[in-house]
Amino acid sequence: MHPFSYTRASDTREALNAGRRGGRYIAGGTTLVDLMRETVERPETLVDISGLPLREVRATEGGGLRIGALVTMAETAAHPKVRALYPVISASLELSASAQLRNMATLGGNIMQRTRCTYFRDVTAACNKREPGSGCAALKGHNRTHAILGTSDSCVATHPSDVAVAFAALEATVHLLGPDGERRVPFADFLLLPGRTPNREQALRPGELITAVAIPALPRPLRSGYLKVRDRQSYEFALTSAAVALHLRGGIIREAKVAAGGVGTVPWKLPAVERHLIGERPSAALWAAAAEKAADGARTLQHNGFKPELLKRTVERQLRVVGGTK
Amino acid sequence: MSTEPVSAAPPPAEPEALPSAPTRRTFIAATTAVGGVAVAGGVIGGSVLVGSEDAAAAVAPVSRVSLTVNGTRRTVTVDNRTSLLDLLREHLDLSGAKKGCNAGACGACTVLVDGRRVNSCLTLAVRLEGAEVTTIEGLADGDRLHPLQQAFIDEDAFQCGYCTPGQIMSGVGCIKEGHADTPEEIREWMSGNICRCGCYVKIVRAVEQTAGK
């Protein structure tokens, strides 16, 4: 680990001042400290933001939610309002990491977490995300767990977050505070596709701080859930996952929010699947037909050719679980 | 911000008394140092001032931090890179928490910070100003073992024992969090603790029995 200086921000302004001078924010630290030890991350200054007042979960008008950036994964998952309004968020969190890590990691940090691509973590390997222009060892390497959607010739690494998949499905908004004031960014625009600059991962301006994630109100009753498919039953990243939220009225699907994880360079919203569902009556045939569109545009690599089919089946199964088979 | 140059780093406020006879740990540490690389800022008078993995840097920012460990207030000056795990093991002579993966993937280093189970290997000590840390050494009430410690013995819930302190601290957290109602629930909520010997059945039993009391 490279040496760094450490400062504790006592309020938001102090944090932003330190951030503007190039300080790196640290909240739960579970990804950052790990990557610093591997020398993948080499911040010169850490700005500890854990004392900032960003720990509130509150309901917003019409039944939405605003989750403070420093609420831990464990606190978010267990929060009565989150559990009542958006089970998909609680489920995605409880299927992530371990109880210890969920006690440490925050929501803001969760969506900032970096890929688990082994070549990114290995400083001796070529990686355009870590070292722009050095190449991508995963393209011809061990790429069984890598992305099939949103990839480029520069990068095929997946985004590892589960709750970010729920946020993508629900069309959340990221609240930011920076030297130039507040702004709000749709979740779909917050995480960036790799393109030719996989080193740029978020639409953050220098010194900007995530203050909250807001979930918009959706028509009720809303049924939602998260399915994660992985190599072991617990404490593992997704090979594929699906976040699904459905609103039915009069036996007809009126709203459908669907996104997939483990397959995209960013959490992958599935608008074609959603469109196929809206206005239809739930049936086994509908789930299958909608899920058939989940892997549209997929590009497989040498070792992850199983992912498109696994993704379709994951989406189909979760549509069935959330929507029922009748 | 409370950093100062390393040259001004004072010794720990409460230096540990050095044992007159070498313990197994100091013996291993000494022989390793002889066989290993001589490093600046490493072992000084038996008290390691920096994280064991980070001993090579000549000048590294340090900070002073006050925290409570197993009920005792400690004020220490640490290299900012020092993990809570290294602070406990190398600085405070509390070697119960184990260094398995040092990457948050095995749970052997689990301790309680402010009552919550965490991976001490991913916790920077410098961030723990005012925190209350409980390690396996602080779990028993005098000579009376914590019920979960006793349950691990009664159930024979370990073989090599390396993961056991982390398992027990995690189990204490798991029970406190209210996630120890069924074997399935315990398995899921204890999945952050790996046991290479594969004692899971008995570990689950020990946690379940303690939770039921």
Nearest-by-Cβ selection for B117 from A4, A34, A103: A103
CB contact under 8 A, B61 and A6: yes
Q: Is the model more confident about B213 or about B76?
A: B76
Domains and CATH numbers, chain A: 5-49 (3.30.43.10), 57-112+163-215 (3.30.465.10)
CB contact under 8 A, A1 and B119: no
pTM comes to: 0.90
Bridge partner list, A224: A245
Interatomic CA distance for residues B20 and A277, integer angstroms? 75
Concatenating the DSSP letter of every residue in A147-204 gives: -SBS--SS--PPP--SHHHHHHHHT-EEEEEETTEEEEEEHHHHBPP-TT-TT--B-P
For A149-187, how does the pLDDT look when each residue is reduced to its tens digit (9 = 90+)? 999 999 999 999 999 999 999 999 999 999 999 999 999
Domains and CATH numbers, chain B: 3-138 (3.10.20.30), 147-212 (1.10.150.120)
Mean pLDDT of A48-70: 96
For B133-192, how does the pLDDT look when each residue is reduced to its tens digit (9 = 90+)? 999 999 999 999 999 999 999 999 999 999 999 999 999 999 999 999 999 999 999 999
Nearest chain B residue to A14 by CA: give it: B1
Check pLDDT > 70 for residue B28: no
Interatomic CA distance for residues B163 and A95, integer angstroms? 23
pLDDT attached to residue A324:
87
Bridge partner list, A253: A248
Q: Report residue A174 CA to chain centroid gap.
A: 12
Q: Is the model more confident about A324 or about B35?
A: A324
User: In which band, very low, low, confident or very high, does the pLDDT at A265 lie, cut at 50, 70 and 90?
Assistant: very high
Nearest-by-Cβ selection for B1 from A8, A97, A104: A8
| Residues of B contacting chain A (CB within 8 angstroms) | 1, 3, 51, 53-54, 57, 59-61, 63, 79-81, 83, 102-104, 107, 110, 116-119, 122-124, 126-127, 129, 170, 173-174, 177, 179, 187-193
Check pLDDT > 80 for residue A105: yes
Interatomic CA distance for residues A176 and A49, integer angstroms? 14
Q: How many CA atoms within 13 Å lie on the side-chain side of A164?
A: 30
Among A2, A5, A6, most B C-beta atoms within 10 A, so best to mutate, is A6
Mean pLDDT of A302-312: 98
For A7-37, how does the pLDDT look when each residue is reduced to its tens digit (9 = 90+)? 999 999 999 999 999 999 999 999 999 999 9
